[in-house]
Amino acid sequence: NAGVTQTPKFQVLKTGQSMTLQCAQDMNHNSMYWYRQDPGMGLRLIYYSASEGTTDKGEVPNGYNVSRLNKREFSLRLESAAPSQTSVYFCASSEPGQGYEQYFGPGTRLTVT
Amino acid sequence: GESVGLHLPTLSVQEGDNSIINCAYSNSASDYFIWYKQESGKGPQFIIDIRSNMDKRQGQRVTVLLNKTVKHLSLQIAATQPGDSAVYFCAENIRGSNYKLTFGKGTLLTVNP
């Protein structure tokens, strides 16, 4: 079991460029999440998917879009990157039927210049 | 502002001492709490959880205490080891929020040999 995997690990973008962060989980979880983590701050929820076929906005959704491709995969897209989106992005998954615990991937460190 | 917060941003202890990390919350509808550990360059990792109908829960070298009267929880680490050095986050689930977690800002624990 790999758990939650994320690609890429690092990325540098110029302002205005677009990119997609990939996330996959092999635990057969129904729910998946995207967070961003900025220095001195906790994790802030960008978008989540309670189940395959559904997505909902979190606390900081502006500038992002998501796609729940199937039960395993949940991608995060930046259509026009801005320096304010420089952050570490974490994907997580959980199975509500088993409790509230979320399992996190290793993160993607994104820098927008 | 954030519902979940921490009293101290940093904590430095000697190896072998006990560590106590504190967290305050403000939402009376919070019904579940998790402590996560995040090592440098990694994603958060589950440590221990507690439901709001409990006051105390113990794990291996860790204990979580919940005081609902003052809306406060703490994580106690016994015989702290260098490998315990990390950022610790508390997170809460608010009843009816569809299993979403709200994270605090985190406490950096440094263990001195």
Per-residue pLDDT of B66-78, as tens digits, reads: 999 999 999 999 9
pLDDT at position B98, please?
A: 78
**Residues of B at the A interface, defined by Cβ within 8 angstroms:** 2, 4, 9, 32, 34, 41-46, 49, 89, 91, 93, 98-106
pLDDT band for position B96 (cuts 50, 70, 90): confident
> Is residue B4 pLDDT above 50, yes or no?
yes
What is the per-residue burial (b if ≥16 Cβ within 10 Å, else e) of B17-37?
eebebbbbbeeeebbbbbbbb
Residue numbers in B near A99 (CB within 8 A): 49
User: Hey, is the C-beta of A97 within 8 angstroms of any chain B C-beta?
Assistant: no
Instruction: Give just the sign of the alpha carbon dihedral A95, A1, A52, A32.
Output: positive
Mean pLDDT of chain A: 95
pLDDT at position B64, please?
A: 98
Mean pLDDT (whole number) for A74-89: 97
Residue B73: alpha-carbon gap to chain centroid: 7
Q: Lowest-confidence range among A38-42, B99-103, B105-109?
A: A38-42
Nearest CA in chain B to A51: B98
> Is residue B1 pLDDT above 90, yes or no?
no
Mean pLDDT (whole number) for B87-112: 91
